[in-house]
Amino acid sequence: MAGDGRRARGGTGRGADGRGSQPRRRGPITVTPGGELPRWVREEITRSTPKDRREAALVELSAGLAAFSEERFRQAAAALRRAKALSPRAGTVRELLGLAEYQLEDWEACLRELRTYRRLTGETEHMAVELDALRALGREDGVEKTWRLFFELGGSREAEDEMRVVYASYLLDRGRVAEAWRVVNPGRLVASPGASTLRRWAVAVRVAAAAGDRDAARRLLDAIRREDPELDWLDELESLVD
């Protein structure tokens, strides 16, 4: 369903409190055609892994990343679990494994890995994935606690958008429409919104429609359509507004 919070998330994020031994990310994680990882990833593995395990960890991480990028999530998770056994304190390994487990809908494993990633790095960019895993598990106390914790720690605008997408969807599923609107209401519609902002607007369409505010829902839907008329979930949102 459009904007329901169940999707893989990425982004660069920013550190929550400067703790952790891992370096701040300097670019997207990609593997070259020859299988080489970025220099900063290799440096991270070097710092966090015993010398006799480094090359093996890099081989498994490279295999896991290649499988992840091709959406072969089961193979990715298997390789990344082997990388984790070799290099358990490498933030990149724990991050990618958590995201692979999310795609496999292993919510407990996803939570375990992404929480470890957050402790190792201080990064909060994937807390919305944590929130969604808790939502899928029906752990309402955990959802509420994680929502509050994000705002204590802080995060990027994109990370906050994603948190609002998931939390507002959670509230809407429980019939807490007025609360959901307070969470996701975008207020003034900004020019050139990013992908996370468009997802926030999409959930706002759903919430406005549920509240019976067709004018607000139409205004938001038209704004999304102007920005990206090719989105595959626009027709679904249109059906809520008509």
**pLDDT tens, residue by residue, 150-197:** 999 999 999 999 999 999 999 999 999 999 999 999 988 988 899 999
Domain assignment present for 115: yes
Q: What is the pLDDT of residue 12?
A: 28
| Nearest Cα to Cα of residue 6 among 146, 103, 145, 112 | 103
Q: Is 54 found in the same domain as 8?
A: no
User: What pLDDT band is residue 128 in, cutting at 50, 70 and 90?
Assistant: very high
Q: Are residues 183 and 147 in the same domain?
A: yes
**In the predicted model, what is the mean pLDDT of residues 218-227?**
94
- Reading the block at residue 89, the tokens are 């304190």
Q: Which pLDDT score is estimated for 183?
A: 97
Are 29 and 2 in a shared domain? no
Q: Which two tokens stand for residue 154?
A: 């802080």
pTM for the predicted model, two decimal places: 0.85
At residue 48, the 3 state secondary structure works out as helix
pLDDT, position 187: 87
Mean pLDDT (the chain) is: 87
- Structurally, the chain folds into a number of domains equal to 2
* Statement to judge: residues 158 and 78 lie in one domain: no
Model confidence at 27, pLDDT cuts 50, 70, 90, reads very low
Question: Are 28 and 75 part of one and the same domain?
Answer: yes
Owning domain of residue 166 = 1-14+143-242
Encoded tokens for 224 = 């999304």
CA distances from 190 to 168, 187, 220 (A): 20, 9, 11
Distances (CA, A) of 152 to 29, 124, 155, 159, 190: 28, 11, 9, 13, 25
The rounded distance, in Å, linking the Cα atoms of 83 and 225 is 42
Per-residue pLDDT band for 242 (boundaries 50, 70, 90) equals confident
